[in-house]
Structure 1
Amino acid sequence: MNDVPATRSGRAPRGRAAAVGLSREQVISAAIAQIDAKGLSAFSLRELARGLGVSPAVIYWHVGGSKEDLFAAIAATITGQLAAAQDPLAPWTDRLRQVFLAYRASVHRHPNVSPLLGAQMKSNGVANLDWIEIVLAALSDGGFQGDALRNAFNALIGGLCGFVTVELAPAPSSEDGAWQDRVAARMAEVDPEAYPLTHAALPELANRIFVLRWQNGAQVPYDDSYTVLLDLLIDGLAARARSSATLETPEPLHG
């Protein structure tokens, strides 16, 4: 059921009248719902507009002049709630853990949106400033600035957001599960002489690691692996910050 009131003629209003009866939040929520149901590759602006009872121009009126603006707004909706996940009084390393754990949980609620967040430039832009600010604030409190700040930021976003994007990568949608069956069958036929280590580890690895799987992280989550990467990155940045602070501290004068 849509929230756009009908005119006296019984038809849904168009143009500015429809835009006034529809909120930006409703547009974004409906777009996310369509992606949840059909996947990002099947997203249709015309279908979104039809579902809301408006023209595509009304969608643009709310979110900007292009589909890319809508995608940026969707990304900002997913990441814009992350500030609330952190304790502002916690150490900077704990805040980063809180934020990136919340990021993964948020994307897992909408796994079909994950390629938009990590693998497409369409979601970039100033709509993500809240997300950028909280990560930069934590890193700045850790002593990072200049080139070191930029590199630390890219390591976190590339590593952790990239992990989630790969974890939730969609399987082929055109074969009705046949692709998954083929991959599973081929996994059972791995030659132990040609690949002895892989064959021996298959009970632990099959369908549970990247590149040797037929289901994505929405069906088989990679919780422990994500935690390992999170710890490695944050502990590594903390060690780097301590090392930098030690180098910058002048030695006491003796005499």
Structure 2
Amino acid sequence: MPENDDPKPRSKLRGRAAAIGLTKAQVIAAALAQIDEKGLQAFSMRELARSLDVSPGNIYFHLGGAKEDLFAEISGALTASVSENIDAGMPWQDRLRQVFLAYRDTVGTHPNLAPMLGAQMKSNGVANLAWVETVLGALGDAGYHGQALRDAFNALIGGLGGFITMEFAPAPSEKAREWEELFAARVAAIDPELYPRTHAVLPELSNRIFVLRWQNGTNVSYAGGYELLLNLLIDGLAAHAPRGPDTSSPTDTTN
């Protein structure tokens, strides 16, 4: 049969037949590429399906019944990557430092994801368990358990994740250039009589600190502040580590 007589050309296979061979990893990679290019707000399941030459139903078949399932898998893929090659024999402080520095580097390559990772619960899910396991293991070795473990975990994730969410916060999507110029002008015009301390250090702080900036971490590095926060949290956890046995341990045989 001549090639042009093929009754089912590839471009028309958009149902389950087109999904044969499609993997979760391919769906995640395609979704991440779309978010990298167009931003989180412009993400479209229909466009994702078109890019993979399948129907939207096939995306849900692979990843669950809602867009939130896909976002959780994207988050999980990123957090799993930062947990790889962590030496469990390293001191717990070094493990935390390594995994959270890697997390910032990873988010920095996909800054459009930052709002989802830090500020939206739809990125939550069991797909993040590799990261959770690594952090809990380090905190357990530091002596944290029970309520103290929960508080320490939330302090790390909230503090460092929140920092990254702010660092890569998106600028206005419309008239971005005009907004930047207007904001820069307003910062430069800060009244020295009303705000003398702020005005005195404007050359060092302008567009370099949260609140008084018009560019995010893709243009201006906040590595120094992040590493300071990470070290402060780790030092604080070491200083406040509980003293005494882990009474919540599954091997505890006391009554």
Question: Given the two structures, how large is their TM-score scaled by the length of structure 1?
Answer: 0.91
Q: How does 1:42-53 map to 2 (within 5 A)?
A: 42-53=42-53
**1:55 matched residue in structure 2:** 55
Counterpart CA distance in 1 for 2:10 and 2:232 is 60
Counterpart CA distance in 2 for 1:155 and 1:187 is 32
Counterpart CA distance in 1 for 2:89 and 2:73 is 29
**1:140 matched residue in structure 2:** 140
Q: How does 1:1-255 map to 2 (within 5 A)?
A: 8-241=8-241, 244-245=242-243
The worse-fitting range, judged by mean Cα deviation, of 195-204 and 48-57 is 48-57
Counterpart CA distance in 2 for 1:33 and 1:182 is 32
Counterpart CA distance in 2 for 1:161 and 1:176 is 25
Give 1:13 shift. 1.5
From the superposition, tell whether residues 16 and 233 of structure 1 become closer, same or farther in structure 2 (CA, over 3 Å). same
From the superposition, tell whether residues 196 and 137 of structure 1 become closer, same or farther in structure 2 (CA, over 3 Å). same
Which amino acid in 1 is paired with 2:191? D
Which amino acid in 2 is paired with 1:145? H
Counterpart CA distance in 2 for 1:99 and 1:50 is 35
Give 1:51 shift. 1.4
Which amino acid in 1 is paired with 2:161? C
Q: Which runs of 4+ in 1 moved over 2 A?
A: 6-12
Unaligned runs of 5+ in 1: 1-5, 249-255
Contact 2:11 2:53 in 1 (8 A): no
Give 1:29 shift. 0.3
Map Cα deviations across residues 128-171 of structure 1 (whole Å, 9 max, x no partner). 11111110000001110000000000000000011001100000
Counterpart CA distance in 1 for 2:121 and 2:229 is 24
Partner SS for 1:115: helix
Counterpart CA distance in 1 for 2:201 and 2:34 is 39
Unaligned runs of 5+ in 2: 1-5, 246-255
Give 1:10 shift. 4.6
Give 1:24 shift. 1.2
Between the two proteins, the alignment pairs up a number of residues equal to 240
Partner SS for 1:80: helix
Instruction: Give the RMSD, CA atoms, in angstroms.
Output: 1.4
Counterpart CA distance in 1 for 2:169 and 2:108 is 11
Contact 1:19 1:62 in 2 (8 A): no
Question: Given the two structures, how large is their TM-score scaled by the length of structure 2?
Answer: 0.91
Partner SS for 1:40: coil
Contact 1:167 1:216 in 2 (8 A): yes
Counterpart CA distance in 1 for 2:225 and 2:9 is 58
From the superposition, tell whether residues 10 and 235 of structure 1 become closer, same or farther in structure 2 (CA, over 3 Å). closer
Give 1:11 shift. 2.9
Which amino acid in 2 is paired with 1:226? Y
Contact 1:12 1:54 in 2 (8 A): no
Percent of pairs identical after alignment? 62
Contact 1:85 1:98 in 2 (8 A): no
